[in-house]
Amino acid sequence: MRKQYDDFTQMKLKDMCKTISDMTYTYVDPDTKQPTRVPPSHYEKILDQIKEQYMGEITKRQFLTIMYNQLTALKKEDEKYFQQALLCIDMGINPKDLRMDEQIAISYTYDYIDDKQKTEKKNFHLLNQDIVDAYTNAKDNPMIQAQAIELSNENEEPNQDDMDYDY
């Protein structure tokens, strides 16, 4: 049984981009009640990027995934030491140089975090509320999203100074 994907992968770049543009157009934005218009040239620019740029993005994402998996494994192995280590990092304290007052403070803070986590359950965040709010705002604010995309697009454009001109 042949699927649309099978035909899509056989298309030339320009045809692919037109097809993606048409697929995007069929999405009706629930806020504006209008179809989503994205010109095929937008997709062509992305799909025609130099592989190195694409690989750079994949590498960044993969590195983040590795760090996430390591931290998750450490947290599962021993959450107490995981949180205490994060506290040491955040406070700029090396655990091998802990003074008595710092040892007591770290232990007390872990108990505080543990109690707070049990009380707040899913609403608990280890990060400061300001940081959580900054993340939520950046995720939900279309202006911030648009600025980040525009900046990313500017960084991907070839710099005029880098181009060779034949006179």
Per DSSP, 30 falls in state T
pTM above 0.85, yes or no: no
**Token duo for residue 51:** 């592989």
55: which residues sit within 8 A by CB, 6+ positions away? none
Q: Is the pLDDT of residue 54 over 50?
A: yes
Render pLDDT for 107-158 as a digit per residue (tens, 0 to 9).
999 999 999 999 999 888 888 888 888 888 888 888 988 888 888 777 666 5
The label of the residue with tokens 């030491």 reads 81
Residues across the chain: 167
Alpha-carbon gap, residue 120 to 108, rounded angstroms: 18
User: Which of 20, 52, 11 is closest to 39 using CA atoms?
Assistant: 20
